[in-house]
């Protein structure tokens, strides 16, 4: 696939010995950052280097859900902007990203959960994000397939309804951004592995790859689940990250039954119906750090049990495919974006766990601004690495079941 075919985003170029900026990792955050660097800051002498192929990692393994119903005042505006950018990018990239804002329905199974949802909704509404609390009957009206009987393990009390969320075709975002960036002059080098980052007088000077050394003054590591290992390996910086495998699966295609993204914390399960008719579902993580993307019968069984309780029409439906990806989890379920702090010219964008997809558009825009101006934009300031040292952990965990092995 790498030898003869011509990439759809343009001609293959030779790796030069020097670039203004080097971005390690060929995922969505890297592609978006490069795209916005070229589009909004006129910086085009950029090499994206990717060990495998673009979209190999989380970019092609996530379940394509987008939403802005996070818990804290720092996260919500970022995700809101990301959500607002999908139609804009569809137009600017001239690429159909298949944004389907079908709405997210986050099921609540207890009075305590309803109370937590009220707080999350208040935050959302304060930041201009549409989000409502609805009762079980209203949830049933929105999604008739829901089982709202009392006779299940976790009866449904109500739901947090977030109409602007939905689904975006993740591969289309990879291809659209790659083409958009390449058209403006950004070079994408697949099958190119970063081996080391060289520094000189306390600043970044070069990146060594398996295809030779590149001189550069600025480097960004945004390599998804592999970031933490790379950053420790190349820069000696330890991060508060645990890399876990997250699994997802799809059923055989069905006639339309589900026109919302439905998720449940208590059942540890979310589901939506793809345009092909499959029910895409997931949520589970094996709670020990590892770099495999293997699957477990344990979770196939769990998923089947959960779905057949709250969406009983799916009983007997077969799973067709299952896959795994890596999620780099932080203790506060919020990402780490930092730059020029540990070493001048070194930037990182990691710790995205399983929310890297829904944030990529806005993060690309702000990381580009950060790298182009050397000034951290206000939007990204709360996400600096030193928050852990200063005990300013974010409260994102309040809204979520805890997946972290640190707890």
Among 102, 142, 229, 313, binds another protein (CB under 8 A): 229
Say how far residue 32 (Cα) sits from the centre of its chain.
Answer: 12
Question: Do 350 and 231 meet the contact criterion of CB atoms below 8 Å apart?
Answer: yes
Among 286, 309, 338, 349, binds another protein (CB under 8 A): 286
Tokens of 57: 């990692």
Name the residue with tokens 């707080």.
119
Q: Minimum distance between the CB of residue 334 and another protein, rounded to whole angstroms?
A: 13
Window contacting another protein (CB under 8 A); options: 33-41, 89-97, 133-141, 281-289: 281-289
Q: Binding of another protein at residue 392 (CB under 8 A)?
A: no
Residues 6+ apart with CB under 8 A from 222: 23, 24, 25, 27, 29, 30, 33, 348, 349, 350, 367
Among 41, 91, 298, 315, binds another protein (CB under 8 A): 298
Q: Binding of another protein at residue 228 (CB under 8 A)?
A: yes
Q: Minimum distance between the CB of residue 288 and another protein, rounded to whole angstroms?
A: 4
Cα-Cα-Cα-Cα dihedral of 282, 287, 293, 294, to 10°?
A: -90
Q: Binding of another protein at residue 406 (CB under 8 A)?
A: yes
Among 125, 290, 375, 402, binds another protein (CB under 8 A): 290
Among 88, 291, 301, 401, binds another protein (CB under 8 A): 291
Can you give the length of the chain in residues? Answer: 407
Among 288, 312, 373, 398, binds another protein (CB under 8 A): 288
The CA distances from residue 384 to 64, 141, 289, 335, in Å, are 26, 43, 23, 9
Q: Binding of another protein at residue 405 (CB under 8 A)?
A: yes
Nearer Cβ to another protein (96/402): 402
Nearer Cβ to another protein (275/401): 401
Query: Cα-flanking dihedrals φ and ψ of residue 22, to 5°?
Result: -120, 135
The CA distances from residue 141 to 117, 314, 327, in Å, are 20, 18, 34
Nearer Cβ to another protein (158/324): 324
Q: Minimum distance between the CB of residue 276 and another protein, rounded to whole angstroms?
A: 27
Q: What per-residue string of b and e applies to 175-203 under the rule 16 or more CB within 10 Å gives b?
A: bbbbbbbbebebbbbbebebeebebeeee
Beta bridge partners of 329: 242
Q: How many residues bind another protein (CB under 8 A)?
A: 31
**Cα–Cα distance measured from residue 76 to residue 43, given in angstroms and rounded to the nearest whole number:** 29
Among 104, 209, 295, 369, binds another protein (CB under 8 A): 295
Among 34, 139, 241, 337, binds another protein (CB under 8 A): 241
Q: Binding of another protein at residue 395 (CB under 8 A)?
A: no
Beta bridge partners of 324: 247
Nearer Cβ to another protein (231/261): 231
Q: Minimum distance between the CB of residue 403 and another protein, rounded to whole angstroms?
A: 12
Nearer Cβ to another protein (229/400): 229
Edge-to-edge strands, sheet with 212-215: 194-200, 203-209, 212-215
Q: Binding of another protein at residue 352 (CB under 8 A)?
A: no
List residues binding another protein (CB under 8 A). Answer: 226, 228-229, 232, 238-243, 245, 286-292, 294-296, 298, 324, 328, 331, 388-391, 405-406
């Amino acid at each position: 696939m790498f030898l003869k075919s011509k990439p759809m985003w343009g001609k293959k170029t030779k790796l030069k010995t020097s670039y203004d900026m080097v971005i390690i990792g060929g995922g969505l955050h890297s592609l978006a950052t490069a795209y916005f660097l070229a589009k909004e800051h006129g910086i085009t002498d950029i090499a994206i280097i990717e060990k495998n192929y673009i979209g190999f990692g989380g970019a092609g393994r996530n379940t394509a859900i987008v939403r802005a119903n996070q818990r804290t005042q720092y996260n919500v505006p970022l995700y809101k902007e990301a959500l607002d950018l999908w139609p804009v990018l569809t137009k600017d990239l001239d690429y159909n990203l298949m944004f389907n804002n079908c709405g997210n329905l986050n099921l609540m199974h207890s009075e305590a959960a309803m109370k937590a949802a009220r707080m999350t909704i208040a935050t959302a509404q304060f930041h201009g994000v549409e989000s409502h609390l609805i009762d079980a009957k209203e949830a049933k009206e929105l999604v008739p397939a829901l089982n709202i009987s009392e006779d299940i393990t976790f009866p449904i009390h109500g739901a947090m309804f977030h109409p602007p969320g939905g689904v975006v075709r993740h591969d289309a975002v990879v291809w659209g951004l790659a083409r958009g960036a390449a058209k403006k002059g950004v070079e994408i080098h697949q099958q190119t592995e970063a081996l080391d980052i060289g520094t000189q007088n306390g600043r970044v000077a070069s990146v060594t790859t398996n295809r030779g050394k590149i001189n550069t003054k600025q480097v960004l590591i945004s390599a998804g689940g592999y970031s933490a290992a790379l950053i420790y390996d190349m820069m000696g910086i330890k991060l508060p990250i645990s890399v876990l495998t997250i699994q997802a699966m799809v059923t055989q295609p069905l006639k339309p039954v589900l026109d919302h993204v439905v998720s449940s914390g208590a059942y540890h399960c979310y589901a939506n119906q793809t345009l092909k008719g499959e029910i895409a579902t997931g949520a589970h993580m094996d709670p020990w750090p590892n770099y495999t993307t293997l699957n477990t019968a344990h979770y196939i069984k769990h998923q089947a049990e959960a779905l057949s309780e709250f969406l009983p029409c799916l009983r007997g439906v077969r799973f067709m495919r299952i896959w795994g990806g890596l999620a780099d989890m932080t203790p506060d379920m919020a990402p780490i974006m930092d730059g020029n702090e540990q070493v001048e010219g070194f930037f990182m964008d990691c710790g995205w766990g399983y929310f890297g997809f829904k944030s990529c558009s806005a993060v690309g825009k702000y990381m580009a601004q950060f790298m182009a101006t050397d000034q951290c934009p206000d939007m990204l300031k709360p996400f600096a690495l030193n928050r852990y040292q200063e005990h300013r952990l974010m409260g994102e965990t309040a809204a979520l079941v805890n997946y972290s092995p640190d707890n």
